[in-house]
Amino acid sequence: MSENDALVAAFIDVRRAYRIIWMYQRRVLDLVSEIAEKFDLVFYAWSPQEYDRLGRFTTDPTKNWAWDMLPLYNTSFLYLPEGADPNRIRAGDWMLEIAVISDQGYNGKALENGEVDASLFLPAEKTRSILGLYAWRGTKALDCNWFNSIWDSEKMDWPKDGELAENARNNIKIVGKVFELSSLSDYAAVEAAVANFKLLVGNKLGIKVD
């Protein structure tokens, strides 16, 4: 095979890969929407876990990391009760986080400019694609914003599956359940996962979740 033939074959793989990514991301967005509809909450915010979005149209994307063009790689979707003030947290207020971790392969290795190098990831066969459901609850009134002052700034580690974590400084408690994305393949599986999570939230945080 000539060098040109190899390049032509490589671009065929690229086209196939983009179509697979589209199908995957369509399924992820539908799954997140399906889960969110099982709670009496409204959409609040979303954000990539690892990398930043591009920002304004005047931002030159060639100056960004290539990862910034893949915001659904590892992403969180946040929801609040209807009527909740995102800038003032009352004692007992809570926030739902649906975290989609498409690839746990990042092992801390990066290029010289700091950009993560996917060729250095752990083998895909040895890593996981997961979805985490997390409940964040404030145990005292806080005059601050859920996203900027709590979720994005605290950088709290997610608790271990089924366990409780607490930030004593802001009296924020978190509990969560992790599910393999491949296990959430049908309506019954999603129903069971959500029911499991709601039971956990009730037991660990004392929240009756509709």
**Please, which pLDDT band fits residue 31 given cuts at 50, 70 and 90?**
very high
For residue 210, tell me if it sits in a domain.
no
DSSP string, the chain: --HHHHHHHHHHHHHHHHHHHHHHHHHHHHHHHHHHTTSSEEEEEEEESSS----STTS-GGGS-GGGG-TTSEEEEEEEETT--TTSBPTT-EEEEEEEES-----S-B-TTS-B-GGGSPPGGGS--EEEEEEEEESS-B-S-IIIIIIHHH-PPPPPTT-EEEETTTTEEEEEEEEEGGG--SHHHHHHHHHHHHHHHHHHH-----
**Residues spanned by the domain of 52:** 3-205
For residue 16, tell me if it sits in a domain.
yes
* Mean of pLDDT values over 31-55: 89
For residue 132, tell me if it sits in a domain.
yes
pLDDT number for residue 61 = 81
For 98-145, what is each residue's pLDDT tens digit? 999 999 988 776 666 778 888 888 899 999 999 999 999 999 998 999
pLDDT number for residue 53 = 65
Domain count, the chain: 1
pTM score, whole prediction: 0.92
